[in-house]
Amino acid sequence: MAETSPGRVAPEQRETWTHNTGFILAAIGSAVGLGNIWRFPGVAYESGGGAFLIPYLVALLTAGIPILFLDYAIGHRYRGAAPLAYRRMRKGMEPLGWFQIMLSFVISVYYAAVIAWSLSYFVFAFDLRWGEDTAGFFVGEYLQVGDPEVSTTIVSAVAIPLVLVWLAVLVILALGVANGVQKVNMVFIPLLAVAFAGLVVRALTLDGAMDGLDAFFTPDWGALTDLSVWIAAYSQIFFSLSIAFGIMVTYASYQRRKANMTSSGLVVAFANSSFELLAGIGVFATLGFLAFQQNVAIDELEGLTGPILSFVTFPAVISQMPGGNIFGIVFFASLVMAGFTSLISILLGVAATVQEKFGLSRRAAAISVSAVCAVISIGLFSTTSGLLALDTVDQFANNVGIVLSAILMTVLVVWVVRKGELLRSHLNAVSTFPLGRWWLALLGIVSPVFLLVMLGQKLVSLIQDGYEGLPAWYIGVFGWGTIAFVSVMAVVLAALPWKGRDEPDFRPWPALEEEHRS
Amino acid sequence: MSTTSVVMMIVAMVVVWGGLVAAILYLRSRPEVVGGPHEDPDLVRDDEERFQQPHPYRDT
């Protein structure tokens, strides 16, 4: 690194966002991902339509934003990726940081595969290569899905874009926070907003679009007394905001010392929800057109969420649309941009952790993390058993892993380590949106209660009903095995000696009353 | 579209997109804390030195 003025070298150089807008756009890039486009519209439609707005906003205000602020506070005060930040909070907390980073690692490995699919479909859109039978094309011709087994047959059509995705990740991570991550988001996020807004405008001019919107917004007030609708709202907010698995801890750790954390967080949270609403309008206007073409009602359509929406239902609509290939190109480009900015955020935490724990340089960390992830990703998800493995790992990593991580995080920080009040003072010292004691009540009581209900319900259903009719050994290996792997690795990695940066004289800034007492 | 769904659509837009606009306006009107906690002059000097470097670097 460059020399500074003679006689005094600025200590331990940590990168930073060049300005608050860079942080905000990167955080929006992280939050706005594939789930906003393919998960929110279907979930809202199935959970009360227009009435879903109420549980959704309640979940945003009582769990989403409070946990987002907690992530920010931890990263900003303790200035490290999750393991270092938790270690600085209290040494025994390091495994929680590793649990979150291992979840990020697992998620990144399959998330990259979905971006690779989007990249392929971006190319397919030029000549509408998926043809008439879009389901058969996706599962059969493109992914070549086989039986639930461990396959070693590589599908090159998936492997090639996957390699490209990992190369792009490597370059961005090696360029660092300001020159890599921030720049990508400064370009992609405005571009994504414009591109997606264009899609929505086009979709609204299609025949049947208004029927689609009608179906989407018609409120079913009865849904409000249904517990599962509330759980769906908390889940959606929770998965969509990228909270509780270390991403936002890392991003916040690169903020300036006097950065306005809470006010920026409000912009990020509402931008994420704004994009979801936009996606809901765009997706349902398009689905309205599909229903119109097929001469059926919206509620008779199938494949309204998840990868099937993007890779089966949408291609079918695109084929029937006048000028469909342009719509398809922009749609899949939007998926790639939304997904890629999220993938980068997931991996930045992993790379920063490797850097901090093992004392590697940024480049060495970027190369080793990308290489390891790429090999696993290509080995596991570009084979003929890729789709099933992906779906199973996703189900467990998200619905069990991240929810567990959030429960541990809120309960441990507020009730065991008892840093809630300190973190509240920290955020209030640097931010212009003041947090009252209500923040601690939401974090310590409301969020964990809802998360426990979510987790309990999920565990019961997974244990009783299994998942998607897959064989028990398969769920054991790829489902429960994922959780076991993440937990064991969290303990093992935390137990390894800390070789990198963790100065014994680190003092959190600003010095606050509570710490002098302890 | 039925009247109720139009109303719900408008309410959703006003609350969610309005919330975004309100959050942006709030941040713009109060971009940083005034005064704020005391910063050690050494820390501030380090920051200034780092801003002279090719990449912006900050404290740990």
Residue A80 has pLDDT above 70, yes or no: yes
Q: What is the mean pLDDT of chain A?
A: 92
Instruction: Tell whether the model's pLDDT for residue A263 goes beyond 80.
Output: yes
Query: What would the two tokens of residue A29 be?
Result: 């890039």
Q: Which amino acid would we find at residue A310?
A: S
CA distance A419 to chain B (A): 19
More confident residue, A10 or A148: A148
Rg (CA), chain A: 22
Domain spans in chain A, listed from the N-terminal domain onward: 20-496
What's the CA gap between A400 and A478, in Å, rounded? 13
CA atoms within 13 A on the CB side of A488: 6
Which has more confidence, A53 or A7? A53
Residue with tokens 């790379």: A351
Residue A178 at interface with chain B, using a CB cutoff of 8 Å: yes
- Average pLDDT for A346-371: 93
Closest-approach residue (CA) in chain B for A51 = B8
The angle subtended at Cα A370 by Cα A77 and Cα A87, nearest 5°, is 25
Query: Among partner residues A14, A210, A433, which is closest to B60 by beta-carbon distance?
Result: A14
Among A270, A266, A263, A271, smallest CA distance to A430 is for A263
State which H helix or E strand residue A14 sits in. Answer: strand A14-15
A15 φ, ψ (degrees, to nearest 5): -70, 165
**What is the structure's pLDDT at A459?**
95
Interface touch B57/A13, C-beta < 8 Å: yes
Tens digit of pLDDT for each residue in A287-305? 999 999 999 999 999 999 8
Q: First-to-last CA distance in chain B?
A: 55
The helix/strand/coil state of A266 is helix
Q: Which residues of A touch B13 (CB under 8 A)?
A: 277
Number of helices (H), then strands (E), in chain A = 26, 1
Instruction: State the pLDDT at residue A518.
Output: 42
* H or E element at residue A407: helix A403-411
Closest to A83 in 3D by CA, of A341, A345, A351: A351
**Alpha carbon distance A383, A387 (integer Å):** 9
How far is Cα A174 from Cα A180, in angstroms, rounded to an integer? 7
CA distance B33 to chain A (A): 6
Residues of A in contact with B33 (CB under 8 A): 258, 260, 429-432
What is the model's pLDDT at position A512?
86
Q: What is the per-residue pLDDT across A476-516, written as a single tens digit (0 to 9) for each?
A: 999 999 999 999 999 999 999 998 877 777 889 898 865 54
Residue A511 has what pLDDT? 87
Shortest Cα distance, chain A CAs vs residue B50, angstroms: 7
Distance CA A119, CA A140 (A): 18
> What pLDDT, on a 0 to 100 scale, did the predictor assign at position A264?
98
Q: Could you say which DSSP state residue A479 is in? A: I
User: For a pLDDT cut of 70, what percent of chain A falls above it?
Assistant: 96
Token pair listed for A216: 């989407």
- Nearest-CA distance A266 → chain B (Å): 6
Tell whether A286 is within 8 A of chain B (Cβ). no
Q: Topology of A20-496 in CATH?
A: Amino acid/polyamine transporter I (1.20.1740)
More confident residue, A468 or A445: A445
Q: A516: burial class by Cβ within 10 Å (0-12, 13-18, 19+)?
A: exposed
Per-residue pLDDT, averaged over A302-316, amounts to 93
- A132: which DSSP letter? S
Residue A175 touches chain B, beta carbons under 8 Å? no
Q: Check B5 against A431: CB less than 8 A apart.
A: no
How is residue A114 annotated by DSSP?
H
pLDDT score, position B52: 63
Pairwise CB contact (< 8 Å): A15 & B2:
no
**Tens-digit pLDDT profile for residues A7-51:** 444 445 678 898 999 999 999 999 999 999 999 999 999 999 999
Shortest CA distance from B52: residue in chain A = A4
Chain A nearest-CA distance from B5, in A, is 4
pLDDT value at residue A443:
97
Average pLDDT over residues A61-86: 97
Give residues 4 to 33 of A whose Cβ lies within 8 Å of B. Answer: 4-5, 8, 10-16, 18, 20
pLDDT exceeds 50 at position B59: no
ipTM above 0.90, yes or no: yes
pLDDT band at A328 (very low <50, low <70, confident <90, very high): very high
For residues A43 and A53, give the distance between their C-alpha atoms in angstroms, rounded to a whole number.
Answer: 11
In single-letter form, the type of residue at position A313 comes to T
- pLDDT > 90 in chain A, percent: 82
CA–CA distance, A243 with A409 (Å, rounded to integer): 11
What crossing angle do the helices spanning A82-89 and A65-78 adopt, rounded to 10°? 80
Among chain B residues, the shortest Cα distance to A76 is held by: B60
Residues in chain B within 8 Å Cβ distance of A277 = 12-13, 16-17
**Does A169 score more than 60 pLDDT?**
yes
Confidence (pTM): 0.94
Cα A283 to Cα B12: distance, rounded to the nearest angstrom: 16
Number of neighbours of residue A364 by Cβ within 10 angstroms: 15
Closest CA to A474 of A385, A378, A376, A377: A385
- Record: contact A270-B16, CB cut-off 8 A: yes
pLDDT tens-digit map of A181-206? 999 999 999 999 999 999 999 999 99
Q: Please give the average per-residue pLDDT across B33-50, as a whole number.
A: 76
The distance of A422 to chain B (nearest Cα, Å) reads 14
